[in-house]
Chains A and B, each alone.
Chain A
Amino acid sequence: MHPLNKRAKQALKDPVLMRTLPEATRRAVDKQRDRWRELPDVDALRDRAQEIKHHTVRHLDHYLTTFEAAAKANGVHVHWASTHEEAIGIIRAVLDRNDVRVVAKVKSMATEEMALRERLEATGREVWETDLGEFIVQISGRPPSHITAPAIHEDVASISRLFHEKLGTPQTDDPERLARFARDHLRDRFHQADCGISGANFLVAETGRVVLVENEANIRLATTLPRVHVVVAGIEKVVPRTSDIPVFLKLLARSATGQKLTAYTHELRGPRRKDETEGPDEMHVVLLDAGRTRILADEAARDTLDCIRCGACQNVCPVYQAVGGHAYGGVYGGPIGAILRPQLEPDRDTRRLPYASTLCGACESACPVKIPIPDILLHLRSRAVASASDERLPRPGWIAEKATVQAWYRSAMSPRVWRVGGKLARLFGPARPGRGSFHRLPPPLSGWTKHREFPRPAPETFHAMWDGRKKKKSAAHPIGRDEDGT
């Protein structure tokens, strides 16, 4: 069994997940729909957002160097990291130089990609996730399972149990109280922290500023209290102008959390100036490639870089709704994960991810920047086929798939073979009243009969029926009430 199927099977056996997931995703889908409806012309706004992204991605080198120059002028140290390892090296050097023992970390997908928390903890530092959801995930020891709701796989009872075990707090079914426990625990950490590490929602090229949105005020604290602030941002996060930001802000919170706007929107310029009372002494921005320029080079997949990490495609995806984020086996689950991970971390396992989709298109409809996710999935599937054909030791199932496609191909290319194939299929016994369908079939159709009956072929093909119809045609018309017909 492929690891993807195995993980899906595991997910289906998780009672907490099976309870929380349908409700949480449906609620998110409904909220997004309501918030989108409130906009005068959401489609035009999505087009505008997509246009800005397309333009920026196609001039990425220009906007990144513009950002770098502007940020440096603001007193920010800008670093370029072509791999995750390079980024970790840069960050470690900054922490070493500043004698950082405690880090207040803000949830960020770029840092998640490189498992930054775990990597820094391994150097003997204390690193605390300061968003409630991410904090839950940290102390549970399980990975996050959603881009914007990392602990979506937990419920109040499981969180209460977890806090009780790890923090010694009393059990409660009051989510407010649980949030308070976490806040109390984190408050001291903020004061001890020498460094805050965050991601970025947007980097503004013309001003060199970093835009971050949040609801819990932990970003506010993590980026102003500690002496040092490090931003880790994928290179696709840059946008040309400050005037582009409102376009995205109108869409981002509406799509992510179903809010009109998040409670806080920060625009960070750089380290504290002499006349200012707040802010870090030092600010760093690490611009992360780690596979992104590879995506940029592939025209058919380039739109993957437009993603603003809202998570709407996850909420609306029937596969995600069924099995949740852990089944995808990595940091990014759901439709965005199925297109992003095979490109960021191409290997045999991730190549299978684009197949974890029905191609229903709900993701594209929900995506605020209209990424054609189904088309990219199809493109990546064709790349997976090309890679599998090149492999000396093919994955299990590949030979059977190839043979099935070849058999289909030979008959689809020849009406004669098609007819013979139809006759052969009927040797198994065509449908007839009283004759049931197939309960169990051998591979590859065993996957089908696991959950459904497989129908018997019709007694006659349409081709044969049509021949018969032509012969009968001189008689009465098939539909009685034809007045103006043939």
Chain B
Amino acid sequence: MADDSRQVRLFATCLADQFDPEAAMAAADVLEAAGCTVAFDAEQTCCGQPAFNLGHRDEARQVALRHIRLYDGTTGPIIVPSGSCGSMMKVYWPTLFAAGSDERAAAERVAKRVEEWSRFLVRDLGWLPERDAEAPERRVAYHPACHGLRVLGLDGEAERLLAATGHRLVPLPRADNCCGFGGGFSVEMPEMSGKILEDKLDCVEGATASGAGTVAALDIGCLMHMRGGHERRTGTTEGHGGCPAYRHVAVLVRDALRARGERSDVAPGPRESAAGEP
């Protein structure tokens, strides 16, 4: 890996920017805990996926190109705390430009540097925090969101991060099934989307029945969708009255690391006891 592999740039994603900045902040915090320096380009807005998925390619192409130009003048990995935006940037950005064009070449250069957050940490950096044996048990159900799973081929990175930080993973029935979000789909085909969501929430309630108080995922969009559906179903806000909390994996990992730090500040126990986890 190149020398500057720990000098990373964070692409925060538009949904995190507007609705869940804590998730992107936690992603940056964990990257720093893993020894990275994190830069954030304030010029960034959105990867272009909303328009791309609706078929508005010209607009998506321009927005992508704007970011490709922005990043092409920089170096180092571009880390995205979303499997969906990560897919757009890594896989679909180059396809927006004609083969052989300068734009295509630039898109490919940038796409190569794009990596989804959990995969970068676990696979590229080989980083996993030492397993926290003293952490109070927190039961979490993990939803492997579709684009990360099938476009990027994420393979257990998030689960390993969660397990290492003291989370006990409760199986989510039919976990691979989509939550029904699909961007514009959720708005334009509410009957279909709503029914798929109902099924997902039934599965989540299977996991909460086994004690999971939190549902984790790598995508703000899917989390918003499931949370919004569950709040509607239970008539409460998340974390209350049968509606679990919906959190980005980065937030759970960051908070667990913080809690551990605070514990060891108070009573710095022997580090060895928790070590030795692969």
Task: Tell whether A40 is near chain B: CB-to-CB under 8 Å.
Answer: no
B55 contacts A412, CB within 8 Å? no
Task: Tell whether A15 is near chain B: CB-to-CB under 8 Å.
Answer: no
Chain B: minimal CB distance from A209 (Å) = 38
Which of A356, A406, A448 makes the CB contact (< 8 A) with B192?
A356
Chain A: minimal CB distance from B248 (Å) = 12
Task: Tell whether A295 is near chain B: CB-to-CB under 8 Å.
Answer: no
B190 contacts A323, CB within 8 Å? no
Chain A: minimal CB distance from B275 (Å) = 13
Docked Cα-Cα span, A453 to B230, in Å, equals: 8
B63 contacts A409, CB within 8 Å? yes
Contacts A5-B189, A480-B258; is A409 near B20 (CB within 8 Å)?
no
Q: Which B residues touch A482, using CB under 8 A?
A: 32-33
A437 contacts B192, CB within 8 Å? no
Q: Which residues of A contact B (CB under 8 A)?
A: 4-5, 8-9, 12, 22, 26, 318-319, 321-323, 327, 354-362, 364-365, 378, 380-385, 397, 401, 405-406, 408-409, 411-415, 418, 422, 425, 436-437, 444-445, 447-448, 450-455, 457-458, 460-467, 469, 477-482, 484-486
Docked Cα-Cα span, A484 to B183, in Å, equals: 39
B188 contacts A355, CB within 8 Å? yes
Interface-side segment among B72-80, B110-118, B174-182, B205-213:
B174-182
Contacts A357-B182, A412-B46, A461-B18; is A447 near B254 (CB within 8 Å)?
no
A458 contacts B22, CB within 8 Å? yes
Q: Which 5 A-B pairs have the closest CB atoms?
A: A480-B261, A358-B182, A381-B55, A452-B228, A451-B194
Docked Cα-Cα span, A322 to B232, in Å, equals: 19
Q: Which A residues touch B55, using CB under 8 A?
A: 354, 378, 380-385
Contacts A381-B54, A382-B57, A458-B22; is A359 near B182 (CB within 8 Å)?
yes
9 contacts between A and B (CB under 8 A): A358-B181, A359-B147, A362-B177, A364-B150, A383-B55, A451-B193, A458-B18, A462-B25, A478-B29
Docked Cα-Cα span, A477 to B25, in Å, equals: 13
Q: Which residues of B contact A (CB under 8 A)?
A: 12, 14, 16-22, 24-25, 29-30, 32-33, 35-37, 40, 42-46, 48, 50-57, 59, 62-63, 66, 146-147, 149-151, 174, 176-178, 180-197, 199, 224-225, 227-229, 231-232, 237, 254, 257-258, 260-262, 264-265
Which of B33, B46, B194 makes the CB contact (< 8 A) with A450?
B194
Q: Which A residues touch B59, using CB under 8 A?
A: 405-406, 408-409
B232 contacts A479, CB within 8 Å? no
B231 contacts A447, CB within 8 Å? no
A413 contacts B63, CB within 8 Å? yes
Interface of A is mostly: helix
Contacts A318-B196, A453-B232, A455-B224; is A408 near B191 (CB within 8 Å)?
no
A381 contacts B53, CB within 8 Å? yes
B42 contacts A466, CB within 8 Å? yes
Docked Cα-Cα span, A485 to B37, in Å, equals: 8
Chain A: minimal CB distance from B114 (Å) = 17
Q: Which B residues touch A458, using CB under 8 A?
A: 18-22
Q: Which B residues touch A469, using CB under 8 A?
A: 25
A479 contacts B254, CB within 8 Å? yes
A415 contacts B43, CB within 8 Å? yes
Contacts A356-B192, A378-B55, A462-B17; is A448 near B63 (CB within 8 Å)?
no
Docked Cα-Cα span, A331 to B186, in Å, equals: 25
Q: Which B residues touch A323, using CB under 8 A?
A: 191-192, 195
Chain A: minimal CB distance from B194 (Å) = 4
Q: Which B residues touch A354, using CB under 8 A?
A: 55
B45 contacts A418, CB within 8 Å? yes
A361 contacts B57, CB within 8 Å? no
Contacts A453-B231, A462-B25, A465-B25; is A480 near B264 (CB within 8 Å)?
yes
Which of A385, A447, A455, A478 makes the CB contact (< 8 A) with B19?
A455
Docked Cα-Cα span, A319 to B190, in Å, equals: 11
A8 contacts B189, CB within 8 Å? yes
